[in-house]
Amino acid sequence: DTEVTQTPKHLVMGMTNKKSLKCEQHMGHRAMYWYKQKAKKPPELMFVYSYEKLSINESVPSRFSPECPNSSLLNLHLHALQPEDSALYLCASSQAGQGYEQYFGPGTRLTVT
User: Which chain residues interact with other proteins by CB under 8 A?
Assistant: 4, 40-43, 45, 48, 55-56, 90, 92, 97-107, 109
Residue by residue, DSSP assigns the chain as ---EEEE-SEEEE-TT-EEEEEEEE-S--SEEEEEEE-TTS--EEEEEEETTEEEEE-S--TTEEEEEEETTEEEEEEES--GGG-EEEEEEEESSSSSS--EE---EEEEE-
Closest distance of CB 30 from other proteins, Å: 14
Q: Smaller CB distance to other proteins: residue 43 or 66?
A: 43
Q: Which is nearer to other proteins, 56 or 80 (CB)?
A: 56
State in angstroms the smallest separation of the CB of 106 from other proteins: 5
